[in-house]
Structure 1
């Protein structure tokens, strides 16, 4: 289960972060959320990439390169334990303080420490020039700055294994091939609907109502709100009136306030139907007609009471 983690400000201006592309940086931060209280996380590519980029369509063929990049940039080590693929963040203990930890899996922690030691050996093969995911229990941390889990300062990490104990077996290449052959071409996350995008028609409504004085980003955000209101069944005249009022109200600093403005207009129309310029429809129209009939009835009674 993902967890809340602390990201230090020094992470953002460290040399390792500056050398990594944006997607690599984001995946590394996601790994901190994905890891357990000991800096170890499930490195099954479909699960890890799906957690980090739930709304992005990333081809499965890119997974090995993405995972290799985060290992090259930040020294993340991949290893295998009990037939499953894991990652471990070597600098975890230096930068993440956890007051209450879950019960440790001693065998898993031992395997992770062994993988870190293997990666820090002078003869360990560096994945820096590799386009594939680093072999499990391999991956060479670089010099780095040591900030927020960056690739250490050359200090050795304390391990649960002695150097004379055997290292975990190297994984078979078939593991990656199995993932590539069985996983879908793109990650699909139906639980999170795709946010609406502004259409040319919605932009035209905004521009013809407010002019061209607003920047394109504001026009697009307003257009998205126009689409939402239209889908809810609000008439075009009412939406345009809401745009006019939004433009003149000092308390409307964001385009996302447009539905609130429209709601205020509807409330006023129900309180005083004749004072509004837009054409009422449905329940609002019936309420206005009833109010008009009541006024006419009162006037008729008053006339009958006159001598």
Structure 2
């Protein structure tokens, strides 16, 4: 399973995603005698607040209880029934999630149909608010944004991996850009694997040299350099958590801590020791003049670094 600290959608630009709520939210309030047998033309995310229900979807038996989210993919027949004496409540939201407005993102992922949301203690009140506040006959901007929170939480909990990309013409920019996003997500999921780049490039349905050039143009780094950058991001978390430079270098795959320090400064813009010192100043509230908010944006890129990467 691809496990990405930042989630499987981390490598997909915000502007590339298009979420559409295709109808008003269904505010579930089902008695113990409730039954359903139907097929939807779009995806449907169900989140349970009280009670329970059993579903059969494509031959799979599922139980939904409070805190569970269940995805019913478009065009999939489902049969359900309430299984508790309590009212079966929650909400169901019909939606589409496209990349570039044309490629269905859900169909590109292997997902468990039903999962318990890991942060349900936090999400429960949000789910109740969502159910009670959405209009009965329309959708709103706030509703779209809040639903995206639930959808991302479900995807991160249910994600098993990316489906094999289908061969497509190089003249199809949408399919090619999606392949780059998936490749970047797979690299970011396991940047400490020395073989991740060859494995990812070996799975794409394009000429590898051509794909590397497109990856570099779209992501800003070659696949190998992108892996190195993701390793440095992992190192940032370790350094901020108190690991020494030598310990951090070993964890992210560098036996030579001096070489690791040079790589860290190249990608992040400051040495590991300088980064640890900046984090300590931030924690202590000792902000340099002109940085009263205490926030430094990494990586710190210089014109020289940009020129070097452009020439690479």
What TM bracket, shorter-length normalisation?
Answer: under 0.3
Highest Rg: 1 or 2? 1
Structure richer in strand, relative to its length: 2
Structure richer in helix, relative to its length: 1
TM-score by length of 1: 0.22
